[in-house]
Amino acid sequence: DAGVIQSPRHEVTEMGQEVTLRCKPISGHNSLFWYRQTMMRGLELLIYFNNNVPIDDSGMPEDRFSAKMPNASFSTLKIQPSEPRDSAVYFCASSLGTSGPSGYTFGSGTRLTVV
Amino acid sequence: SQQGEEDPQALSIQEGENATMNCSYKTSINNLQWYRQNSGRGLVHLILIRSNEREKHSGRLRVTLDTSKKSSSLLITASRAADTASYFCATDADNAGNMLTFGGGTRLMVKP
């Protein structure tokens, strides 16, 4: 398995533009998580899906953020309109629950810069 | 607020020395996990310890868990320069379903 695949690796966009981040989880994993990492706030959970259904989106900072998981092999995180304070590294992770020995598998992240 | 808090925030040691990082948490947990993050990369799962376990080993890693003190420690023995990374603890709390809550991490530097 190639692991959790995120795209793009880097994104530079102008303030006000729409940004879409993509994630392909590990096949067979039934949980998917979107995290944001910044120096100031550390690693923050934005939203969590179980069996493609959003379970907890309380970490989504504003209505400008939205996430979808149309099927078990694909998820998107969209920011519209983007703002400079959205600049961060966004990670997607998947898991088959946390009761097993392997925990979460993280992608390599998307480094977003909004100018 | 973060469930897990690592201590120290930064640690610098010489190659060959042992590195100990601590994690404290606030609520009862199902399990606690440790992850490593190399610069510019995603987090990598290292080890999971369940709430009914007190100690676990994996290679040069040793994890302890004290649920009475709500704390855990990660010991890396005979450290190598390649161990330089940030280390995070994460808790799977009783009331958090399937979600992990991560601490702020410890930045470890191992000097050759």
pLDDT 10s per residue in chain B (112 long)? 345 688 899 999 999 999 999 999 998 888 899 999 999 899 999 999 999 999 999 999 999 999 999 999 999 999 999 999 999 999 987 665 667 888 899 999 999 9
| Cα B71 from chain centre | 10
Residues in a beta bridge with A111:
A10, A89
Given an 8 Å threshold on Cβ–Cβ distance, is A99 in contact with B30?
yes
Q: Which among B102, B108, B84 is positioned nearest to B32, based on CA atoms?
A: B102
- pLDDT score for A62: 87
Name which of A37, A38, A43 to mutate to probe chain B: the one with the most chain B Cβ atoms within 10 A of its Cβ: A43
Q: Which of B33, B35, B97 sits opposite A55 (nearest CB)?
A: B97
Distance CA A114, CA B18 (A): 41
Q: Phi then psi for A84, rounded to 5 degrees?
A: -55, -35
Q: Which among A56, A55, A52, A60 is positioned nearest to A79, based on CA atoms?
A: A60
CA distance B104 to chain A (A): 6
